[in-house]
């Protein structure tokens, strides 16, 4: 359920006409709905029921400070993958103590920053990283809480670029090496192994791969308990899919119910790291039609938003729904919705039946996750504005980048050549 609905022929974001926002802020822009974000977070929170659990929003999906702040106010934890994301969480009022740090390539500087902030846990992806965290924690007189990310070698059944739980992927520690690494952790003076985690991929549309992954990790948890070194938490990662088009992913409460069965009576806290399923359908991307043109049988709507703004269609061939902000009567045509960037991959959608005129506004749905965060300045295009709607008010939560911002950090060479 989201709060982007038609009233008559006009698309509304909560209680505001989306066109009103686009006309005030300009296009392209991302528009987020606070009520939708809150709703999605609460569905997870409530789905825990009597289970002890923490929702750690995956910051990579949408790291705007306003988005993080809305979630932090509800008590959300965060899953980060860089020092930059940690700084954002702290700036947005998030708690370090509810933040887990994932990712296979944490730098020494990032580890220092996270230790100083007092994060909840490092999700460790290799023996070398475990040694590095131990070394830095020892230097600073701290004990680092760690969890080992185990690669369960299960097929998440998703796009190969966003599958992460197979042996061939760079992520995690092979299950066969897990116990040896927990033993190594026990010998190291400045780390404490408190958990286990996995993340098998993104945009998962069935529960089975989660259950398979958990099944493969539970024997490790049991062996550690028998050895007298019990873990405190089990982090099942993120990855629950959303409905962009024809998919029918399980709801968060369905996932949590199934997962709860496996954890009953084990005394483990459950952590989950959802990104997309909280943010994707809490955002739309608004773009304006600049030109219409036809090349023989093919019709193009050239819009002012491109692959630099919303990369998913170009990068993964992703399908996201494209709808008009104002539905007009008349015959529709089959359009490729393409951007102004000089690449043939620059499309937002192909073969969409729409009734369009130049100047019309379109919304790409499902753009609240992996939208703005993956945008770039390619073709020297300033990044889009971000707006959050809250009831009948909207707030610009990131200004559009102007041309001064584009090259503010660049410089030319000095006038005189040093040799002349």
- Smallest gap from Cβ 164 to ligand LLP, in A, equals 6
- Collapse the DSSP code of 393 into the 3-class scheme (helix H, G, I; strand E, B; otherwise coil) and give the result: strand
**Distance spanning both ends of the chain, measured CA to CA:** 68
342 carries an active-site annotation: yes
Among 185, 83, 102, 84, CA closest to 144: 185
276 binds ligand LLP (CB under 6 A): yes
202 binds ligand LLP (CB under 6 A): yes
162 binds ligand LLP (CB under 6 A): yes
By beta-carbon proximity to ligand LLP, the closer residue of 99 and 102 is 102
Judged by CB under 6 A, the residue of 79, 85, 153, 346 near ligand LLP is 79
Instruction: Find the helix or strand (DSSP H, E) in which 55 lies.
Output: strand 53-58
By beta-carbon proximity to ligand LLP, the closer residue of 96 and 280 is 280
Report whether 9 contacts 239 (CB < 8 A). Answer: no
Among 316, 315, 306, CA closest to 347: 306
98 binds ligand LLP (CB under 6 A): no
Biggest alpha carbon distance in the chain? 79
Instruction: Show the site string, 316-355: x = touches ligand LLP by CB under 6 A, - = not.
Output: x---------------------------------------
Q: Looking at 13-21, 105-113, 271-279, 349-357, which segment touches ligand LLP (CB under 6 A)?
A: 271-279
Hey, what are 391's tokens?
């009831």
CA–CA separation, 114 vs 93, rounded Å? Answer: 15
288 binds ligand LLP (CB under 6 A): no
370 binds ligand LLP (CB under 6 A): yes
Binding residues for ligand LLP, how many (CB under 6 A)? 22
**Considering only residues 222-251, where is the footprint of ligand LLP by CB under 6 A?**
237-240
Q: Give residue 360's Cα distance to chain centre.
A: 29
Q: What are phi and psi of 336, to 5 degrees?
A: -90, 125
CA–CA separation, 267 vs 194, rounded Å? Answer: 13
Binding footprint of ligand LLP on the chain (CB under 6 A): 58, 60-61, 79, 102, 162, 199, 202-203, 237-240, 273-277, 312, 316, 369-370
Residues annotated as catalytic are 342
């Amino acid at each position: 359920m989201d709060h982007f609905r038609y009233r008559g022929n006009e698309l509304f974001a909560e209680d505001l006409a989306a066109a009103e926002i686009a006309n005030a802020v300009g296009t392209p822009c991302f528009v987020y709905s606070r009520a939708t974000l809150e709703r999605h977070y609460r569905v997870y929170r409530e789905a825990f029921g009597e289970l002890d659990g923490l929702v750690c929003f995956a910051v990579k999906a949408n790291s705007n400070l306003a988005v993080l702040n809305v979630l932090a106010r509800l008590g959300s934890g965060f899953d980060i993958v860089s020092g930059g994301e940690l700084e954002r969480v702290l700036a947005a009022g998030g708690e370090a103590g509810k933040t887990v740090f994932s990712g296979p390539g944490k730098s020494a500087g990032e580890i220092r920053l996270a230790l100083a902030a007092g994060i909840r846990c490092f999700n460790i992806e290799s023996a070398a990283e475990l040694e590095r965290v131990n070394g830095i924690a020892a230097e600073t007189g701290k004990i680092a809480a760690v969890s080992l990310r185990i690669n369960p070698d299960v097929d998440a059944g998703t796009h190969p670029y966003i599958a992460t739980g197979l042996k061939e992927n760079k992520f995690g520690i092979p299950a066969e090496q897990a116990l040896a690494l927990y033993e190594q952790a026990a010998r190291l003076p400045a780390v404490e192994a408190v958990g286990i985690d996995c993340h098998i991929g993104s945009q998962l549309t069935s529960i089975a791969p989660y259950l398979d992954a958990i099944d493969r990790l539970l024997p490790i948890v049991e062996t550690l308990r028998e050895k007298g070194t019990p873990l405190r938490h089990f982090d099942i990662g993120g990855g629950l899919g959303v409905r962009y088009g024809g998919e029918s992913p399980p709801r968060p409460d369905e996932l949590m119910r199934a997962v709860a069965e496996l954890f009953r009576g084990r005394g483990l806290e459950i952590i989950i790291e959802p990104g997309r399923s909280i943010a994707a359908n809490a955002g739309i991307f608004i773009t304006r039609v600049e030109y219409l043109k036809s090349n023989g049988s093919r019709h193009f709507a050239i819009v002012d938003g491109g692959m630099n703004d919303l990369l998913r269609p170009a990068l993964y061939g992703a399908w996201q729904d494209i709808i008009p902000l104002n539905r007009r009567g008349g015959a529709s045509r089959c359009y490729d919705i393409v951007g102004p960037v000089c690449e043939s991959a620059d499309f937002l959608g192909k073969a969409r039946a729409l009734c369009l005129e130049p100047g019309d506004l379109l919304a790409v749905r499902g753009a609240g996750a992996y939208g703005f965060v993956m945008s770039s300045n390619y073709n020297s295009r300033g990044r889009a504005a971000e707006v959050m709607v809250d009831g009948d008010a909207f707030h610009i939560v990131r200004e559009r980048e102007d041309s001064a911002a584009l090259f503010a950090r660049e410089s030319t060479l000095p006038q005189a050549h040093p040799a002349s």
